[in-house]
Amino acid sequence: MKFFECNHPDAAGYLVTCTGFEVYDIAVHKRDEKPHVNLCEDMPYRHLHWMYMPLDVGEHITHISRQLDHDGEFRMVRTGLTFTTNKGRNTVFGAYATQADEVFKMPRNMTKVYFNWWDNPGVHAGLEYVALEPTAQPKEAVLYEAPELPIALGVHCRKPLSMDADSMLFG
């Protein structure tokens, strides 16, 4: 298991390694610290990228939610995460679904968030397990509607991507 320090007092943002579907690694970027250039090293899957979620001064994570994308054709479930801040900002990493399960209501103080780490190069599994250190009190899971996200158009996209509840197209 690996961990990141959620709501670290010196946090300037969060770096998350993911594919279009799954989350692989999470790190805290602290103020006056160089970004983690080795975040994508030693990963079992080569099509990884990292996403950066900056934080404003005084902004902190209030909720961590799970996004489940059920792929019936391949019988797969992909897990993404949503971080919600005290300023009402939602950032989705990995799979996006129309509903999310609130997994943790985060305390304001720094809390270690543990997650599985796949070190077997033959396995292409992303984040599946998340736990808080024993001093933090998890909140009972509550189902809520995921925030509506703007449609991002990539350089190679010829038409807008469909983001309805029945289909997920990644450009």
Two structure tokens written together for 6: 């959620």
**119 in any annotated domain:** yes
Give residue 25's domain range: 2-145
User: Looking at the predicted structure, is the pLDDT value of residue 73 above 80?
Assistant: no
**168 in any annotated domain:** no
Over residues 121-145, the pLDDT tens digits come to: 455 567 777 888 765 555 555 555 5
- Cβ-based neighbour number of residue 27 at 10 Å: 18
- How many domains does the chain divide into? 1
Residue 37, classed as helix, strand or coil, is coil
**152 in any annotated domain:** no
- The domain that holds 48 is classified in CATH as 2.100.10.30
Q: What is the mean pLDDT of residues 93-111?
A: 77
CA 143/CA 160 separation, integer angstroms: 29
**Helix (H) or strand (E) run with residue 85 in it:** strand 76-85
43 CA to centre of own chain: 17
The span from the first CA to the last CA of the chain, in angstroms, equals 32
**131 in any annotated domain:** yes
**171 in any annotated domain:** no
CA 95/CA 117 separation, integer angstroms: 18
Q: What is the mean pLDDT of residues 76-92?
A: 83
CA 85/CA 110 separation, integer angstroms: 14
Over residues 30-54, the pLDDT tens digits come to: 988 876 655 556 555 567 778 889 9
Task: Tell me what percent of the chain is helix, strand and coil, each rounded to the nearest 5.
Answer: 0, 40, 60
CA 78/CA 15 separation, integer angstroms: 19
**50 in any annotated domain:** yes
User: Looking at the predicted structure, is the pLDDT value of residue 10 above 90?
Assistant: yes
**127 in any annotated domain:** yes
**58 in any annotated domain:** yes
Two structure tokens written together for 91: 């950032």
